[in-house]
Structure 1
Amino acid sequence: MALTMMTWLFAIPLLGVVTGMRTMTAMAILCWFAYAGHLPLDDTWAFWAAKLITAIVFSIFAIGEYVVDKLPKTPSRTAPFPLIARLVFAGLVGAIVAAGLNGSGVESVILCIGGALVGAFAGFLIRREIVIRLNSKDWPVALVEDASAILGAVLAMGIVTG
């Protein structure tokens, strides 16, 4: 019971926060957990997320996102297109988790999208504030954000999969 509550009140929104910070990270981590058999997706519409090729493709996308994020001309995550992409992927992550848990897809999608909004805007503001206060370059702070996103996704999926 307690693990179920932690999953719905903490882990699923945390996956959304991670998606708001880095669009592909939560999806890549979720796919690896599903591929390893920790999130049962067989006999669900999301069976494709548990395939090795899917985990590899989303991992490549995530690594590409880490690189592109450090480029000076990369648009803000709060700009319309990047924000919409984050919300779409958050909804997908939430729906896949719900499929693996035989839970409510609507609730999971809402929790994940809400987390993505928090992750996108809070992540942007916190990163900007740290750079300003430390009078530093952006990329070291972005690397810490990358690591935080990965650790957050692994923690959340660890809770989801029990």
Structure 2
Amino acid sequence: MTQVLVLLLAALIGVVAGSRAMTAPAVVAWGALLGWIDVGDKWSEWIAHPITVTVLTIFMLAELVTDQLPKTPSRKVPAQFIARVITGAFAGAVIGSAFFHTFSATGAGVIGAVLGTLGGAELRKRLAAANNGNDRPGAFTEDAIAVGGGFLVAFLVSLI
């Protein structure tokens, strides 16, 4: 049962990465720092270091700002898509490491990232259409879901 929950949470953090690539690593870093994700004496222990958390938080905040810019490319272009898959895999692996399920959780993170990338793009497109082409409300909604959902996933790891 534990492995199923770990894989589900790894997939969900992948969905977060599909929405906002740098949010997933940042929230798992915060989760590790806060003790929600047990990375002690594991390969992922470095993620809980305050410098790592700070750098990833800065990257996350920068992404939240740059996502609002009109010149930001689609999340579905190869470079953006690959970045989301990589960060989803990494964040999933960190969650999995807490339970010695790194490999399978990495795969779950990849699957979640693909689903989050494609689903997030569709959601954003529909929200823009519902707002007469105005993308900003959809972007802010997606930001809130990604950050809030990411922290929720990180917290839920502590309940397993």
Report the TM range for the smaller structure's normalisation.
over 0.9
Whole-Å separation in 1 of the counterparts to 2:30 and 2:138: 26
Which of 128, 144, 148 lines up with 2:145 in the alignment?
148
Residue 22 of structure 1, CA deviation: 0.1
Q: Following superposition of structure 1 onto structure 2, how do residues 41-56 of structure 1 map, counting pairs within 5 Å?
A: 41-56=39-54
Letter in 1 for 2:136: W
Cross-structure match for 2:94: 96
- Contact 1:6–1:159 (Cα < 8 Å) also in 2: no
Any idea what SS the aligned residue of 2:43 has? Answer: coil
How far is the alpha carbon of 1:59 from its aligned partner? 0.6
Work out whether 1:129 is the aligned partner of 2:133.
no
**Deviations, residues 28-67 of structure 1 (Å, cap 9, x unaligned):** 1111111122222121111110101111111110000001
Is it true that 1:67 corresponds to 2:65 in the alignment? yes
- 1:82, 1:8 → 2: CA distance? 24
From 136, 144, 151, the counterpart of 1:139:
136
* 2:18 matched residue in structure 1: 20
Equivalent residue for 2:158? 161
Q: In angstroms, what is the RMSD of aligned CA positions?
A: 1.4
SS of residue matched to 2:55: helix
Unaligned runs of at least 5 residues, structure 1: none
**How many percent identity over aligned positions?**
35
Question: Which residue pairs with 1:83 in the alignment?
Answer: 81
The alignment status of 1:8 with 2:13, answered yes or no, reads: no
Q: Distance in 2 between matches of 1:152 and 1:99?
A: 20
Q: Is the 8 A contact 2:17 2:113 kept in 1?
A: yes
Q: 2 CA distance for matches of 1:161 and 1:101?
A: 11
Matched, 1:110 2:107: yes
Instruction: State how many pairs are aligned.
Output: 159
The answer as to whether partners of 1:7 and 1:159 remain within 8 angstroms in 2 is no
Q: What's the TM-score once normalised by structure 1's chain length?
A: 0.92
The answer to whether the 8 A contact 1:12-1:111 is kept is yes
Of 100, 116, 119, the match for 1:119: 116
